[in-house]
Amino acid sequence: MSEFPRRALVSVSDKSGLTEFAQGLVSLGFELISTGGTRRTLEEAGIPVQDISSYTGFPEIMDGRVKTLHPKVHGAILCRPDLASDLISIREHGIVPFELVVVNLYPFEETIAKPGVTVAEAIENIDIGGPSMVRSAAKNHAYVGIVSSPSQYERVLSELSEGKLTDAFRRELTAAAFEMTARYDRAISDYMAGLVASESNSAADSEEASPFPARLNLRFEKRSSLRYGENPHQNAAFFVEPNFAPSSLAAAEQLNGKELSYNNLLDLDAALSIVREFSDPAAAVLKHNNPCGCAIGASLAEAFDKAYAGDPVSAFGSIISFNRELDLATAELLCEPGRFVEAIICPGFSDEAFEALTTRPKWKKNVRLLKCPGMTQSGSGMLEYRRVSGGILVQDRDDQPDPQDEWKIVTERQPTEQESIDLRFGWLVCKHVKSNAILYAKAGMAVGVGAGQMSRLDSAEIAAKKAGERSKGGIVASDAFFPFRDGVDEAAKAGITAVIQPGGSVKDEEVIAACNEHGMAMIFTGRRHFKH
């Protein structure tokens, strides 16, 4: 390519680092050819650049919809200068090959993520010329370097300063370029499929309507490799979805401690989901994806003190979450002798609290501290995926508030004011306990948790054992209906005075009668919260 000047085609939507990169190319002897907005940015920076229209001899038309779809553009990208027939063609038509194509695409995903975006706005952000140039350059990567991300600029300049891009780096750039266009096309496909599904659902009977498309395309990028999975013999990695919600675990920033494990991440996700439920200061203590303690309080320190006291034996080596910035008073409690914490996640840490946690306890260097400022925002709209042999299950996340105006008091006795507060608290925590789930609570604190048992009665017995004398005057929450009265009888033995459960069993009347016999109040919520 020595008989041709060094030329780069530059047309980018994301202009991060553009001027510095362009200046570097010019210093290496490149002539720059560019389009509308990119050209204006370069001109304003005083960087010499030729407009694409002056090169092609054809103006941009249709408000810029057509500008790079031209033989002089794609001929300059696709030509093979060491092939005689290609050389004849480009000389005949006044085409000068591009050594570099620098292109990234209209922000389609960012556009459709905006509240209230119209279909017309989404359609206008479907890039046509950009993907065409990217694919052309990627196909011809033996002769053309395709630069599709600002993150590649520094290394491109470094290799060009040594002479030219290596073959290995060209292939790396090509793989990234095809991944970008594939991801872009998947995003558009998913959006259009969603429109079709929405229109079909509007026209169909409600029984036939489905919120899910006929095909599911998942896009995740690797955030990190993990030391191992649930067990040391299993490989694992953490992948995040594009445009993840600020309330999600993917948005958390690790400030201190050892690298996160697979099990840490599972527990952290469960932990932040629990405290997000509460507007009062709240703390949750997690072990093996279940809360062994959870409480609300007048202050964060009070909430933590109560949550940790729920099951201090199980709390050793736990994951802890808070729905407020962690203050010094709470940090002082965390640092008390005999306590060992694996990880803490909260919206933030005061300077004093951070210093205490990272300098005082024995685990100071190892404790994983994660800041997630948006964690208390609603996580609604997220889907849950679970792999099964040969397929994948998809469902809405169970994060919507229950319609309390539909709750029914079905017993002769009404709940007291304090019981009503504890029933609401217990119901919010119970939905985060693995089924069969039974949770005993009192005074805004979980005092006994029975989780993951094959029998609801077994869960009730475990919760009663954990609670001990603390259950007297407390409430019980059950994630699904009591199939028999035995669970209520067990709760009555433990001193429980009020019950909250979905209802819906063929034995409901028997269960209601049991509550009346024991003088207990009971609420039917009408909604189940299984968690498998």
- Do residues 30 and 159 touch, judged by C-beta distance below 8 A? no
End-to-end CA distance of the chain: 62
> Residue 345's CB: how many other CB atoms inside 10 A?
27
Active site residue 434: no
Helix (H, G, I), strand (E, B) or coil at 181: helix
- Which residue out of 15, 70, 72, 139 is catalytically annotated? 139
Q: Kindly report whether the peptide bond that precedes residue 436 is cis, defined as omega within 30 degrees of 0.
A: yes
Query: What percent of the chain is helix, strand and coil (3-state, nearest 5)?
Result: 40, 20, 40
Catalytic residue among 15, 70, 72, 288: 288
Can you give the length of the chain in residues? 532
Establish whether 287 is a catalytic residue: no
CA distances from 122 to 13, 31, 116 (A): 15, 34, 11
104's CB contacts (< 8 A; 6+ apart) are 12, 13, 14, 130, 148, 149, 150, 180
Q: Which of 466, 461, 464 is nearest to 287 (CA)?
A: 466
Q: How far apart are CA 23 and CA 18, in angstroms?
A: 9
Distance between CA atoms of 360 and 362, rounded to whole angstroms?
Answer: 7
Backbone phi, then psi, for 450, in 5-degree steps? -115, 115
Which residue in this structure is represented by tokens 């050209």? Answer: 39
Residues designated as active site? 139, 288
